[in-house]
Structure 1
Amino acid sequence: MDTYALEHRFPKTGDGTSPALWLDSITRTGSSTKADGSTESITLPSVSFGDVELQNRTNPDGLVAFMRRRIGTITTETGSVITATYELPKPCATPVTLDPATNTSSCYPVYWTPDGFVDPIRDWFNKWAVTKVTSTDPTGGAAATATSYRCLDGAAWHFDDNELVKAKNRTYGQFRGRARVQTRNGDGVNDPRTLSEVVKPIRSSRTMQRWVTC
């Protein structure tokens, strides 16, 4: 029988907003029953998660930045370290003046009510993408491996159909992916580099027309 222990905390955000739950580690323990009825257990090293803070709001402009944590590193049970790199493939210039209906950038509109405001405002938030994942052996016994991702097209944003959101506050804030993503396996140093490309049909917009890449 396997059991899993989860360690978590509520780390401070640094911008005054309420902290969000963060999973620090997962520890697995395997147990078995011997012939004499006694139980023997073995606990493996924990899988731990390191964080990287990223800005959620596109333009703080006097309001909170909404700093939130993403997984920066994963240390596995065997000790290898997996590291994720985040980028904004098509960052938005501030102040954002994009038309939400035709937006293909790495930011999206949301209506929310900041502290001290009476009515919701339309604001813009970042959509971060993982652009590289590396795996390293801290002992030096194995060469590092890497996989890189390149977004060839802009993001597809669908009109919000969430029934819990008032109709007047709905906008193009549902992420529907990207039409083409290029994947490179290998860093060209420790292992050979190969190239592949994923192409998928994307439908976006309020009328569900075929999405046109940028």
Structure 2
Amino acid sequence: MPSQRPRAVFPWGTLGRFCPAGAQTGADAAHGKQRASHHGTGETDKASVHRHLSGAVAHDKQPHQRSATNARPKLDVPPVTFGQPKQIPNRVDGPVKRPSGTEATTSPFHRPRIQEITTETGGRINVVYRAPECSRVKGTMPAAADTNAMACMPVKWYLPDQSFPDPVDDWFHKVVVQSVTQQDMAAGQTTVVTDYEYGGGIAWHRNDSEFTDSKTRTWDQFRGYATVTTRTGNGNSAEAPRTKSVATFLRGMDGDVLANGTKRTVNVPDAHGGTIKDEEHLSGFVRQTQTYDRDGGTVIADEVSTPWTREKPTATRAQSGGMPAITARVMNTGKVTSRAKLADGTSWRVSERTSTYEKDVVFPRVLEVDDKSDLSRPDQRLCTALTYASGPGGAPTELASRTLVLKGVGGCGQTPTAANTVGDTRAYFDDKPLGQAGATANQTGTEVLEKYDAAGQPVYRLNITSTYDRP
């Protein structure tokens, strides 16, 4: 790391990202994957600075066009074109104060954003962005950086050509999508409008990267909104009613350090009456979804997901400067509890699906999936047990060599019999014995359970064989 600070630091980070379908609701979400709990990224080369200054979206003079043949005369597919981008300021309006107390102004840093796309099939996609929430001129600003929940982030940076040794305190907008419209310009089909409503305010986490200058460290890590409500439909009374769903996210804010040195305590409630600690490594996890019968109606179904995290971290590294350790953890979905409203309009059918994973391995695989489709009917319970083949040298794989499905209140703990077995399938790979796989991992045979013999042992029938023309 160079010891001399740059004269200008351009603080855009994720502000140039465009993802209308809800990616602005969480930061670095990782569902069922290994991830680092603390991370920092930065660009310092001239090319990256030029890319920031030139804008996030290039308005192409040459349209994107493909050709198709399919063993027939070449046919040019209509091009994908982008309309004139919308210029949106990144920086919050108004002057900033220098370390000396005097005021300074600088560029609003407009960046182009996609607002119209014409597709190959003649469709048109229009994107509308939310108006800026923060304004110094209008007096609508966060009270403090560490308690900020508005759509703008604090930025400590050095103004271009600034000679002061300390950075200025500035604010930059977080641009989010308000709606996406899909129009059929060829056949005149009904226009589909998807609106996004963001609830609970934005969570801004302190930047805990050890590579961040202590003078510029602030609460600028975007962790998303608490909820995102999605409405789809055109609102025309002659058409079907608009749909509505609400997703609730975990944002990893428990333990975040505040300006006074204390730590946040954050617990997230759910519709089933439970709560969960909003731990750092859970950032981006979808905790709950709710489905309504229509926009303006009532909830007819919901789902609460509980994460599973391996107890032992995959790796941990201490950071310098008093920053929290970087911890890599393996996580997945442990339990999903779903409710569906019955015809009487008041009672619910409740189902529960629980997954069990391996312990004390680097990459745990799912061993059992226990599906209680209706808690009031334990006889409908189904449990699937998975056994995996080993690769060359005993290497673990994700190739299921046996899939056993049992029914009944005993779940996967039962001894398989003709009475409780729903299905039993065995898979062979690379013409090797059961439970082994070669380097190519080609499935060369499949056996299914035919019956249990007089001794209660399973009898299998070879159902499928496969050969491959190349490895």
- Per the normalisation by structure 2, the TM-score is 0.37
Write the mapping of 1:86-97 to structure 2, written as runs, cut at 5 A: 86-88=129-131, 91-94=133-136, 96=141
Q: Which string of whole-angstrom CA distances, capped at 9 and with x for unpartnered residues, describes residues 92-131 of structure 1?
A: 2416453111100010011222223124212100011111
For 1:29, the equivalent position in structure 2 comes to 67
Q: Deviations over 1:27-68 (max 9, x none)?
A: 233456x6xxxx964432222223111111112433211100
The residue aligned with 2:223 is 176
Maintained 8 Å contact 2:142/2:150: no
Which range moves more in the overlay, 189-198 or 203-212?
A: 203-212
Aligned residues of 1:203 and 1:211 also touching (Cα < 8 A): no
Percent sequence identity over aligned pairs: 34
1:53 is aligned to 87
- In the alignment, which residue of structure 1 is the partner of 2:180? 133
CA distance in 2, matches of 1:137, 1:166: 50
Residue in structure 2 matching 1:63, options 86, 102, 106? 106
Counterparts of residues 1-214 of structure 1 (less than 5 Å)? 18-20=53-55, 22=58, 24=60, 25-30=63-68, 41-50=74-83, 51-61=85-95, 62-88=105-131, 91-94=133-136, 96=141, 98-119=143-164, 120-139=167-186, 141-189=188-236, 190-204=239-253, 205-206=256-257, 207=263, 209-210=265-266
Give the CA RMSD over aligned residues.
Answer: 2.7
In 1, Cα distance between the equivalents of 2:94 and 2:168? 14
Q: Secondary structure at the match of 2:220?
A: strand
SS of alignment partner, residue 172 of structure 1: coil
Output one character per residue of 1:115-168: Cα deviation in whole Å (capped at 9) or x when no partner: 231242121000111111101123462121101011122001111134442122
Tell me: higher relative CO, structure 1 or 2? Use CA pairs within 8 A at least 6 residues apart.
1
The code of the aligned residue for 1:146 comes to V
Confirm or deny: 8 A CA contact 1:182 1:195 kept in the other structure.
Answer: yes
Flag structure 2 segments of 5+ consecutive residues without an equivalent: 1-51, 96-104, 258-262, 270-471
Q: Which protein is bigger by CA-based radius of gyration?
A: 2
Task: Point out 4+ residue stretches in structure 1 off by more than 6 angstroms.
Answer: none
Distance 1:166 1:43 in 2: 52
TM-aligned CA distance change 1:73 to 1:208, over 3 Å: farther
Q: Give the TM-score taking structure 1 as reference length.
A: 0.77
Structure with greater proportional strand content? 1
Amino acid at match of 2:81: S
Measure the CA separation in 1 of the matches of 2:58 and 2:82. 9
Structure 1's 53 and 93: CA in aligned 2 closer, same or farther, altered over 3 A?
A: closer
Q: 1:158 to 1:187 in 2, by over 3 A?
A: same
Counterpart-to-counterpart distance in 2, 1:156 and 1:165: 20
Superposed displacement of residue 175, structure 1? 0.7
- Displacement, 1:19? 2.2
CA 1:174–1:88 in structure 2 vs 1: closer, same or farther (change >3 Å)? farther
> CA separation of 1:30/1:193 partners in 2, compared to 1, >3 Å: closer, same or farther?
same
Contact between 1:109 and 1:171, CA under 8 Å: does it hold in 2? yes
Contact 1:88 1:106 in 2 (8 A): no
